[in-house]
Structure 1
Amino acid sequence: MADSPRDAVPAADVLAVHQLYGRQSHAIDSGRAAEWAATFTADGRFRSPSYPEPAIGTAELTAFAERFHAGCEESGERLRHVVSTVEVRTGQSVETLRARAYLQIVGTTSGGEPRLHRITVLEDELARTADGWRVRRRTVHRDG
């Protein structure tokens, strides 16, 4: 069933969500933990089956991203977050959106072949802030 016109998300907001996901991927892949955490609201929540506990709030999100990048450096592998097939839908109010996307995490080593670590589905609740759209709640689901 197609969305009705009143459920359509403005193109500018869809583009902003794509940009947000791009900023997130580049920040975490480059070890810019505070920048990655800033793509979430101050009370943002990140939950993934790959990690035992959710990260909640800016301090925990920053620490999570720092640990993630440190693990990559220890392993000598460069990881890339590849977000695709993004679907942006209306949220509970004009100040929120819902988004769903596929996330592939691909790793490479110096001179090595790329290796697919996992394919997941992102389910996000986004909030409009003074600084643009931010993730309020992210739930990651593994495929397969």
Structure 2
Amino acid sequence: MTATTVSSDLYTQVQHFYARQMQALDNGRIEEYAATFTKDGSFQHSPGIDPVLGRDNILAELRSFLKKYDDDPTQRRHYFNQMILDPQEDGSLRSTVYALIIRVRPNEQPEVWPSTVVHDVIDLTDGEILLRSRSVSYDQLV
């Protein structure tokens, strides 16, 4: 297997980016989450939903999508692991990450739902990490 590697520092920076991004989402700070995309970024988060284009539209989509959970006390936690970063000729990174979403309802055992693979294109500009695109595939639908 031939692999192009990135530096340990860059790998760690991307892990830190993902940790902050997912904690923002899990804690309802969706404006902060949406700000992790480029202004013209693309976001496809669920099966059957077309990609949303642009940071403002991503924020609007998240607000709309998350309304269904307004009266649901479930806590969701996103866990990213097995990250592979592939440098691209244009200076971006292609990222592939396994993601588990854990749902925890009051007084119930946590459950994994769903198991996914996250495909990102990451822009690196002036030391800032932003997502150019994110597409999520669900293992149970493959």
The reply to whether TM is greater than 0.5 is: yes
Match of 2:19 among 9, 18, 22: 22
Tell me: CA distance 1:81–1:55, structure 2 relative to 1, closer, same or farther (3 Å): same
Q: Secondary structure at the match of 1:25?
A: helix
2:5–2:85: 8 Å Cα contact kept in structure 1?
no
1:53 match: 50
Could you tell me which runs of 5 or more consecutive residues in structure 1 were left unpaired when the two chains were aligned. Answer: none
Look up the match of 1:106: 102
**Consecutive unaligned residues in structure 2, runs of 5 or more:** none
- Do the aligned residues in 2 keep the contact of 1:29 with 1:81 (CA within 8 Å)? yes
Give the conservation status (yes or no) of the 8 Å contact 2:17–2:129.
yes
**What is the alpha-carbon distance in structure 1 between the residues aligned to residue 131 and residue 74 of structure 2?**
27
- TM-fit CA distance, 1:132: 1.1
- Worse-superposed segment, 83-92 or 126-135: 126-135
- The answer as to 2:29 corresponding to 1:42 is no
In structure 1, the partner of 2:80 is 83
Superposed structure 1 runs of 4+ greater than 6 Å apart: none
Residues 128-139 of structure 1: pairs in structure 2 closer than 5 A: 128-130=124-126, 132-139=128-135
Paired amino acid for 1:73: D
How far, CA to CA, are the matches of 1:45 and 1:143 in structure 2?
A: 21
Report the Cα offset of residue 69 of structure 1: 4.0
SS of the residue corresponding to residue 19 of structure 1 reads helix
Identity %: 27
**1:51–1:119 Cα change, 3 Å:** same
Shift of 1:126: 0.6
CA distance in 2, matches of 1:59, 1:25: 18
Matched, 1:115 2:96: no
Q: CA–CA distance in 2 between the matches of 1:34 and 1:117?
A: 24
Q: Residue 41 of structure 2 contacts residue 53 of structure 2 at CA under 8 Å; is this kept in 1?
A: yes
Question: Could you say what the CA RMSD is over the residues aligned between the two structures, in angstroms?
Answer: 1.7
Aligned residues between the structures: 140
- Counterpart CA distance in 2 for 1:44 and 1:54 is 10
Offset of 1:129 from its aligned partner? 2.5
